[in-house]
Amino acid sequence: MTGNNVRLQAIKDVEAYVPPAAVAETDEPGEVYGENVFSIGEMRRRLPKSVYKSVAATIERGAPLDPAVADSVAAAMKDWALEKGATHYAHVFYPLTGLTAEKHDSFFEPLADGSALAEFAGKTLIQGEPDASSFPNGGLRNTFEARGYTGWDVTSPAYILQNPNGHTLCIPTVFVSMTGEALDHKTPLLRSQQAMGHHAERILKLFGHESAAHVVSFCGPEQEYFLVDRHFFLARPDLLNAGRTLFGTKPPKGQEFDDHYFGAIPARVLGFMMDTERELFKLGIPAKTRHNEVAPGQFEIAPMFERGNVAADHQQLLMTTFKAVAKKHGMECLFHEKPFDGVNGSGKHVNFSIGNSELGSLFVPGDNPHDNAQFLVFCGAVIRAVHKYSGLLRASVASATNDHRLGANEAPPAIISIFLGDQLADIFDQIAKGSATSSKGKGTMMIGADTLPVLPTDPGDRNRTSPFAFTGNRFEFRAPGSMQTVSVPMVTLNTIMAESLDAIATELEAAVAEGTPFETAVQTLLTSIITDHGAVVFNGDGYSETWQEEAAARGLPNLRTTLDALPELITDSAIELFEKYQVFNSREMHSRYEVGLEQYALTIGVEARLTLELGTTVVLPAAVRHQTEVAQNFTALTAAGLEPDAGPLKEVSAPIAELRTALDTLRAALAVHAGDSAYDEAKHAHDSLLPAMAAVRSAADTLETIVADDLWPLPTYQEMLYIL
Ligand code: ADP
Ligand code: MG
């Protein structure tokens, strides 16, 4: 009986499906830009001048918000939102699950006479009190005090989220415990920005920028993702519940790189892209879709860089928008780092720079020796920070899902190194030898009295195999996973940069105070940085085997899995670092560590149970049906006196036996009580569940190549990846 084969039904449904036309075809995306954002311009129009000035000062210079203006801002925001058709408001925050959470309330309060009054006071804008008990906190909240508070992030604009069932005013907030400890990803981001900015400004002062505007960090996140037809998605309980395929043989070798599939973007994907662009534009997210997919069914979008915390909010909103618009077009958007085994995975490159409105990015070489000295000092700060804290950077991208991608020969390895480009590497080489007097390749080298070179602005080449690459005006951190929030890597980058900039500023200030000429002090500083930390610079092929050995010889850590990486969060030096710059206290660090382990064990636990269930109820029955047919055929042929070959029967029976054994092992592993700590559970997931799942998959994938096509119940890689 094959009538209920969900896979075959899905294929029919896909064929019959007519995707909707893109809404966006009807208008210019530029016309809708920012229409749903309570922008700084909107505030200027709507707020009394003094109130506007006060809020603008908070946004632009990080001045504390004056609570006295809150009522006035809230009233203007409410009027704007009501005009836009909003009926509810929501405090939006980013709990430690890495997802987005919202608490919705109505603007309207019922009155005694049966009518309703739109209420939205300043204190409601500034602070909310969602029921926090369902969000992970890693031990930060006692069960009798499950409360958490949201607080308005003035620097990230409020916006309206449109829904078929009504519109909601969304207010970006932080989420903290009653004692002020961070329960979210935004609080530390704001704290770390401030620390980094402060010490960067000290260095700028030394270079003569007395009135420099506030230094902030910028983030331009490039997002990779897959699209699959929703009929297939719904026929794959593993994709639906775990975000990745737990079964499936790879498409025939080489096919994923077949030119045929790169020719044109399928019409419905274009429709999806136009609609997402339009929705993002309405929300003031400057994102242009791009089409440089590597795997079939894979695409990328790169929003313009923005201030770190705004970029992080926009990133979350982007993912939500993509999911919603994809559904509308009959597709599912997959953000998992490795939805398809053996096929290129998805990352989220974090393009990182620091700077301000006056000077732009501080990672851009200048056109005279003085400016170049400044550029080299800021680059030196990065080299020092990444070398000293590479373990923390690795931990900032650690998750059960990203483990499938890092080091899988398509993504940066788990070893954190920096690619500087030939030219910059050459200059630091020369600095290490005592002086930099010539520039490799193109461009002029000007040797001033200060012996520091003039650099051409374009470093030219690229290295896709490096996890951390200088790309002309920024550093690109390529290890973050496609699904994760950019906040965690940004917090880490800001904090390790704060420490580096602090140390550098302190050294330079002391040298100047002692009467050392500034140029000499800079030269000495750069020499010591490259001598002490140059080991992290690597311009070669990060995917090669030899790099693993060389990195080990250089003393660079290779933290392969999340389990190896997370303990970096609670080393003495890590806690000292985060405490010193007031980004996390020790309790908060331990809480992140605990939540990281919990999430890891949870993710693998879900996958393991799904593997057991699908293996038992979907794969095994299909294989047994096939086996029965083969056996019946064997019997029939024997009865006819044909002496049939027993090979085919053995061929299917062996992997069936293997599958049964593997399922038993997995069932037993799931029944084990792993221990009482989050670490014990995570370790059990890593040591027992993952190998048991792999064994089930191996047998099941063999069966996929044997079982008759009309009996196979799960949409295949071929179908999911190539049919859009
Ligand atoms: P590429 O294709 O070479 O990687 P793109 O121009 O597409 O480069 O940029 C990739 C990302 O880098 C974009 O999100 C962009 O906004 C971001 N970016 C560019 N300049 C900076 C900068 N100074 N700081 C942070 N991000 C930046
Ligand atoms: Mg890039």
Domains of the chain from N-terminus onward: 33-184 (3.10.20.70), 192-599 (3.30.590.10)
Please list the residues that pair with 160 across neighbouring strands. 169
The backbone torsions φ and ψ at residue 483, rounded to the nearest 5 degrees and listed phi first, read: -90, -20
CA 397 to CA 207: how far, in whole Å? 34
C-beta of residue 38 within 8 angstroms of C-beta of residue 159: yes
- The residue to mutate among 218, 219, 222, 280, having the most atoms of ligand 1 within 8 angstroms of its beta carbon, is 222
H or E element, residue 458: none
CA 393 to CA 383: how far, in whole Å? 13
CA of 308 to the centre of ligand 1 (A): 13
Residues 6+ apart with CB under 8 A from 521: 507, 508, 511, 512
Q: What is the 8-class DSSP label of residue 244?
A: S
- What the block records as the tokens of 549 is 């050995």
CA of 469 to the centre of ligand 2 (A): 10
CA of 218 to the centre of ligand 2 (A): 15
The backbone torsions φ and ψ at residue 499, rounded to the nearest 5 degrees and listed phi first, read: -65, -45
C-beta of residue 308 within 8 angstroms of C-beta of residue 218: yes
**Confidence (pLDDT) at 49:** 94
If one counts every other C-beta atom within 10 angstroms of the C-beta of residue 557, the result is 16
The protein residue with its alpha carbon nearest to ligand 1, atom 24, reads 353
Query: Cα dist. 394→5, 93, 386, 414 in Å?
Result: 43, 25, 10, 7
Query: Cα dist. 72→36, 80, 81, 122, 232 in Å?
Result: 20, 12, 14, 7, 51
Crossing angle of helices 487-513 and 518-533, in 10° steps, is 130
CA 178 to CA 92: how far, in whole Å? 18
Residues 6+ apart with CB under 8 A from 216: 193, 197, 307, 308, 354, 355, 356
C-beta of residue 162 within 8 angstroms of C-beta of residue 461: no
**Which atom of ligand 1 lies closest to the CA of 363?**
23
User: What is the Cβ-side half-sphere exposure of residue 649, based on CA atoms within 13 angstroms?
Assistant: 12
CA 319 to CA 225: how far, in whole Å? 10
Calculate the CA 335 to chain-centre distance: 9
- The residue to mutate among 351, 356, 468, having the most atoms of ligand 1 within 8 angstroms of its beta carbon, is 351
C-beta of residue 493 within 8 angstroms of C-beta of residue 193: no
Crossing angle of helices 647-671 and 690-704, in 10° steps, is 160
Amino acid at 82: L
CA 249 to CA 264: how far, in whole Å? 26
Residues 6+ apart with CB under 8 A from 13: 231
H or E element, residue 34: none
All residue ranges of the chain with pLDDT < 50 are 1-2, 143-144, 254-255, 259-262, 440-451, 460
**Which atom of ligand 1 lies closest to the CA of 219?**
25
Q: Are strands 148-152 and 127-128 parallel, antiparallel or unpaired?
A: antiparallel
Calculate the CA 660 to chain-centre distance: 37
Ligand 1 neighbours, Cβ below 6 Å, are 218, 220, 222, 302-305, 351, 353, 361, 473-474
Name the region of 272 (left: φ>0; alpha: ψ -120 to 50; beta: rest): alpha
**Confidence (pLDDT) at 421:** 85
Sign, CA torsion 335/495/419/394? negative
- The residue to mutate among 216, 280, 305, having the most atoms of ligand 1 within 8 angstroms of its beta carbon, is 305
Calculate the CA 251 to chain-centre distance: 27
CA of 363 to the centre of ligand 2 (A): 16
**Confidence (pLDDT) at 261:** 45
The backbone torsions φ and ψ at residue 306, rounded to the nearest 5 degrees and listed phi first, read: -140, 175
Calculate the CA 683 to chain-centre distance: 24
C-beta of residue 618 within 8 angstroms of C-beta of residue 714: yes
CA 371 to CA 377: how far, in whole Å? 10
Which position has the token pair 């794969």? 619
CA 536 to CA 544: how far, in whole Å? 16
pTM of the model: 0.93
CA 101 to CA 128: how far, in whole Å? 13
**Confidence (pLDDT) at 259:** 47
